[in-house]
Amino acid sequence: MSIISNNDIAHAIYLASKDKSKEEQSLIFKNVIKFLVKKKKIARVPDILLRLGKIINNYENRIVGKIFSKEKITETQNKEINQILAHRYSVKEVILNEKIDEKLLGGFKMEVGDEVIDLTLKKKIEKLQEHLTSNK
């Protein structure tokens, strides 16, 4: 008996539901849930959904990330950041979920996948301090 991974299930869901009507997708999702319940794998659903989201984003040529800043970023900043990230990750679309973090002194920090891009004022001060103390 082979073991079906969460990634395999997520990929199968994507392929089965791609280009289907809402009604057809609804039926597919009901059948997937029935299968998971029958196989006593319903606890896997959160991870399967996470993997499904990544698969969809990959096929749709987009990335989703978070951006943390002290204040709401401006429309101009948002456009510039999106262009830079689209180029960096070679994608058509960038979706950044903005989070306000009042603990930040300034700048911003982004999380895209497993990567953290820290452009906060605190990090810049730490780098400057490191540079100044290492050149003695």
For the entire predicted model, the pTM comes to 0.72
Cβ contacts of residue 23 below 8 Å, gap of 6+?
Answer: none
Question: In the chain, where are the structural domains located?
Answer: 6-58, 61-134
Q: Which two tokens stand for residue 30?
A: 């009901």
DSSP state for residue 3 in the 8-state scheme: P
Write the pLDDT tens digit of every residue in 61-83.
Answer: 999 999 999 999 999 999 999 99
Cβ contacts of residue 82 below 8 Å, gap of 6+?
Answer: 94, 96
Domain 61-134 has what CATH class?
alpha beta
Q: Which two tokens stand for residue 45?
A: 């659903």
Tell me, what's the pLDDT at 113? 84
Distance of alpha carbon 97 from alpha carbon 57, whole angstroms: 15
